[in-house]
Each structure stands twice: as C-alpha cells, then as structure tokens.
Chains A and B, each alone.
Chain A
C-alpha cells in the first residue's frame, strides 16, 4: 500500500494553489457572493488556458487527457477554494451524455462549445412533484410528426437564467411503466414558451423553476431513443455518484484552525478536541473519495464506494460546520459582508451551504438505501 499520490500530483497541486491564490482575488469573491451564481467567465478562461478546465476529457475532444489522480487533485483544489465551477461542471456532464447519446450535430456544435465554456447547459430532471423519484417526471412530451410538444415544469434548474440549453427529462409515454416512458431532450432556453423564474436559497445561490408552455421542438432535439430516457439519465448521473464534499471540510478546518491560532483559543484542550474531530472527518472523507479514483485507475468496478464518499462527506460537512459555528460563539453569526465577520464569514456560509450537499446529487437517504441494498445486501 502507498498513500502518496505521487510527485506529479504534488507538483500539480502546488501549481493549482499558486494559481488560485492569484486568480481568486477578493474582487472575484465579492462578485460571486453578490451574484449568487457559481460561474465566472474570466476565471474559467484562465483554467482553459492552463488545461485544467476539462482535465478528464480526451485531447481529441478538447480536454487535457489527464489521468484520474490528476483529475482528482484538480477537483480537490478547485473545490477547496470554492472556485466557481458549478455551471461549467454541469455543462461538461451534459456534454458527456451528448457524446454518448446525442445527434451528430450536437456532438459537432455543442460539445466543443461547452469545452470552450462558450455554452452553458443546465439539468432539468427534478420537478415540483418529483425529486428523488426522478423517474416519476410528469413533464409531457407529445410527438407531432417531426416535432415534439412539451408542457410542464422543472424545479431547481440551477443556472437556467444564464444557460443556453436545458437537458430535459420528459414523459413521452404515460402508458408504459414509469422508467420506460421517459425521453430526454436538449432544448434551447431562449425558446418561445419557456419561462425561467428565480428561486432563492439559504446559501445565497440562485436556482430556478422553469415552465414549459407548448414548447415545440424538432425531433433533432432528442437525446437517445424515444422512451429510452432512463438509460441516458442513469449514464449521465454516473459521475455524480462519486460526488464528494471532502474539499469543503478541508476548507472549513483550515479556516477554523486559523481562527483558533489568531485568537489563542488553540491552546484550549476543548477546542483541540473538536478540531481533532474535524481533522478525522477531513481525512476519512478524502480517503473515501480517493479510493474511488484509485479503483477507476486500476479498472476495478465500483459498487457503493461512491455513495459512501458522498454520504460521509456531506453529512460530516453538515455536522462539522454546525459544531465549528457553536465553537466560535456569537461572532460566528456575522455574515460575509460584515468586516468583523470571522474568517470572512466562511464558517457561517459553510453551515448554510452544507445543507444542500445532503440533498442534491442524491439525498443522504438515497445514498443510504443504495449502500444498504447493493453494499450490505439488505432486502428492499
């Protein structure tokens, strides 16, 4: 066994840190905070220039063709600094589905534009009445010759206000069993009949509800087979299955350790105990996620290693951010804009942000069910 990530990974990490220190200036942070949007075109441009934007993508498709460990290191460092990656990483996820299931035109036009960060795609899976049970989507797509008529609504369509396309899950066949009657489309968000309304969240991030009223799209907007949407969707969600929030716990611990050193509280044994607990959560969360990467690198099929990494990291972040908030006392209340805020309000922010991590990319309950059934062999 060897727990080193290797010299390549170490120097890549150092390069990323240096770059992020330079690129994520106070002005950028301020802009991101005010906008509530995890996207910044200038910042992404810098990543593209350095080959860090689509590191896992092969070079012929416009990526950097890096190995899984390097990709993981990039992910760890970008997220540790909470770099504005959400809009583009979702777009890359959609682009991946387009490579696999899209039309030639999508592959030719849209995929390269996503890799240049010129096109933003958003996910339209969740509906007001269907979230975890995503296969229960009710947004209707009715075929009419060479066209489809779409009616319904999508909930939590993050970044739809700035996106170009929505990757849309619809019900094309209400007579089939629920997983078999789904079809996916890629629909331009400026299409007539689409209305995007803001939904504001506890972390300050903006998301949306999107309404579809008689939206008429050509059959060429379809991704994958008619009524074959479920396999398209599950393939796209594969990447989400090893989502990890370990880097945010790393950040949380760094901030609280800095606070404890600045204030002298670091000498208090009670403070040390609680910092030690978060240090364990950091280590375990990183290891559970790194195990996934190691398995990918070795070509070992993952079972529930991804759900374990997601579940542990998001639940730990939620618990640890609350505990660190409690530890700091009344000053922890102060939000980012207040100049007196502890560590620029990071800890207060992290406690809000953490709540979402146990919900999106599969709630904790969905992860636990997978671990119990697929991992432990417990009955349905």
Chain B
C-alpha cells in the first residue's frame, strides 16, 4: 500500500489550490449564486486544461488519471466553486469513449457539453447539472445516447445555486444505441459519482475547518465553545468520517485507473458515504455558529446548501448504497 501522492500530483493540487484561492473566494461564490456559474473562473480552469487533462492522449488530451481528477475535484469542493467542472469532464470523456467527432468541438472550446444523470422521461431530462450554461447535453433517451442542444429558458432556482435546467430531448442527435450506449452511460455515471464524492469530501473538510475555527474563537459562559464536548465530539466523528471517506474516494479512483472489478462498487460507496460525511460535517459546523449560522452573511450556509444539492441531482445516499450492492451482488 502506498498513500503518498506523486510529486506531480502534489504540484497539481498546489496549482488548483492557488487557482481556486484566487478565483473562487467566498465573495465570488456569492456573486455567482443567481446563475450558478462564474465565467471568469471557468476560463481560468480552462486555461489550466481541465478538459484536456480528462481526455486520453490518443484522443487529443493529456491523459490524467482518475485519481488526478479526483484531487482536482477535491479542491473544487473545498471552495464550493461555481463552475461545472465535473459534468463537463465526464461528458467529454463519454464523447471520447463514443469516438464522437463532437469531442473536437468540446476540446476546442467551441461547444460546452454536460451530461444528464438520469435517462429522459417523456421527452424531458429533468434537473440536468450544468445544463443552463451548456450548449449541448448528453442524454440517454430510451436505449440511445443522444446529444441534445439546450434551448434557453428552462433553468430554475435551486438549493445549491447550481446551473440546473430541465432539458427537452426531442430532436437530439443519436450518437450510439443499444448495449454500448448503456455501458458508456453507466461508466460516465461511475465517474460522476466518484468525482462528486471527491468534491463533497473537499467541501466537508472545509466546512469542518470553518466550524472548528469558529468554535475556537467564540466565547460563551466564559470559555471557548469548542471546549464543550457536545460540540467537539461530533466534530471528531466528522473528522474521522471525512478522513475515511477521502481514503475511500482515492481507493475508488485508483480502482478505476487500475480497472479492477470493484471500481463501480467503490465509486458508489464513495458517493454515498462521502455525501453523508459532507452533510454531517456541514450541519455540525452550521449549528456550531448558533444564530449566525442561519444568517446568509456567514459562509457556512454556502457549504451546507451545496453538501445537499450537489449529490441530489443524481440521488441520495441510499441510492448509492443500492448501486454499490448491485455491483457487488449482480443486478436483480
């Protein structure tokens, strides 16, 4: 076993840490709340090659590993960054897997593509992440993977201030059908679950830090509130859970990179357990702020809302646990 990051991975993390520190501080996150997207942040991310890195070298990318992508997603989550990084990477990877010429438009930056996490029902893919700021969306329609152009006007306000939209799927271009389409869709879903898990773990870890900082400073009854076990002990549970969730997400990424037969199971477990850990941490940290946690002015609410909203576009922890069990025991 080796839990050390490579020197290149350390550099990668540093590069993204400073990018987010500069271009996604809390005031920028707040400024982007209405649309859920900060175009300047996105162009900075593009400048660091976030799409290229997600694509194999023989398809015109840089061929980063899934673990590399997870490390980037973790930094993304720490800043609750308002840019649809994960959806765009996952959609681009699906296009590459389909060997679609549409990938070229995505790599060149001409078209922005996202992916629907659920098949369309009655001609609509509901609550598609990053869709309100996308040109096209990959959607599973029946047994066909289609590329659907997004028409304006279907965005809606939501808990996580995310650029969500309901997407009408009539008239999309069929890229692939049958078993292959299904398989590409399921693989894309694995990747989305895993990278979202990594983002949630970064989110949860930062939320915990915010709560711990507050608990060290705030005085009640003449002592720092962090000395009350009723507050510090749940924080300790969160610290252990988040450390474990991080190891689990890295293991899942490693399993994808090594193509082991547990990759799907581990990705779903990381998603479910990571969601729960991030939720708990953000709840505890918000609560430790007392009434101030309920105020919009304090940053912790940004974390609490996204800890619940980001995973919910696909599903809740029980859905992740079922998906993991299906991978473990075979579909019914």
Contact = CB atoms under 8 A, between A and B. Distances in A.
Interface of A: 1-6, 69, 257, 266-267, 269, 272-277, 279-280, 283-285, 287-288, 290-291, 293-294, 298, 304-305, 307-308, 311-312, 315, 365, 367-373, 375-380
Contacts of B1: 2-6, 69, 290, 293-294
B4 interface: yes
A376 B239 contact: yes
Interface residues of B, number: 49
Interface stretch (B26-34, B120-128, B156-164, B315-323): B315-323
A367 B273 CA distance: 21
B229 A273 contact: no
Contacts of B240: 288, 307-308, 311-312, 371
Interface in B241-270: 241, 243-245, 247-248, 250-251, 254-255, 265-266, 268-269
Contacts of B328: 275-276, 279
B321 A368 contact: no
Contact of B326 (A272, A283, A373): A272
Given A1-B4, A284-B247, A378-B215, A272 B254 contact: no
A377 B67 contact: no
B212 interface: yes
Contacts of B247: 284, 287-288, 291
Contacts of B265: 279
13 contacts: A1-B67, A2-B254, A272-B321, A273-B321, A276-B322, A276-B324, A277-B272, A283-B266, A284-B247, A308-B243, A367-B236, A368-B237, A372-B235
A53 B250 CA distance: 33
Contacts of A372: 226, 229, 232-233, 235-236, 239
> Which 7 A-B residue pairs are closest in the complex by CB-CB distance?
A276-B321, A284-B244, A272-B325, A371-B236, A372-B232, A368-B236, A308-B240
B97 to A, nearest CB: 24
B332 interface: yes
Contacts of A291: 3, 243, 247
Interface of B: 1-5, 67, 208, 212, 215-216, 223-224, 226-227, 229, 232-233, 235-237, 239-241, 243-245, 247-248, 250-251, 254-255, 265-266, 268-269, 272-273, 318, 320-326, 328-329, 332
A376 B321 contact: no
Contacts of B245: 284
B269 A294 contact: no
A274 B272 CA distance: 12
B229 A365 contact: yes
A1 B250 CA distance: 8
B229 A369 contact: yes
A308 B321 contact: no
A276 B212 contact: no
Chain A CB count within 10 A is highest, among B215, B247, B325, for: B325
A280 B236 contact: no
Contacts of A378: 212, 215-216, 226-227, 232, 235
Nearest to B65: A1
Interface centre among B1, B251, B269, B325 (most CB of A within 10 A): B1
B244 A308 contact: yes
Contacts of A285: 244
B321 A312 contact: no
B269 A276 contact: yes
A376 B237 contact: no
Contacts of A276: 268-269, 272, 320-325, 328
A304 B239 CA distance: 10
A267 B233 contact: no
Contact of B241 (A293, A312, A376): A312
Contacts of B215: 378
A69 B1 CA distance: 8
Given A69-B1, A372-B233, A380-B227, A266 B243 contact: no
Given A266-B329, A376-B235, 19 more contacts: A2-B2, A2-B254, A273-B322, A276-B269, A276-B321, A279-B265, A279-B321, A284-B244, A287-B247, A294-B2, A315-B237, A369-B236, A371-B239, A372-B233, A376-B212, A376-B239, A378-B216, A378-B232, A380-B227
Contacts of A379: 216, 223-224, 226-227
B127 to A, nearest CB: 22
A240 to B, nearest CB: 17
A279 B216 contact: no
Contact of A287 (B212, B235, B251): B251
A272 B223 CA distance: 47
Contacts of B216: 377-379
Contacts of A257: 329
Given A283-B251, A376-B212, A376-B232, A277 B241 contact: no
Nearest to B211: A376
Contact of B248 (A284, A315, A375, A380): A284
Contact of B212 (A3, A69, A365, A377): A377
B250 to A, nearest CB: 6
A135 B318 CA distance: 44
Contacts of B67: 1
B248 A280 contact: yes
Contact of A369 (B233, B241, B324): B233
Given A308-B244, A378-B226, A1 B236 contact: no
B254 to A, nearest CB: 5
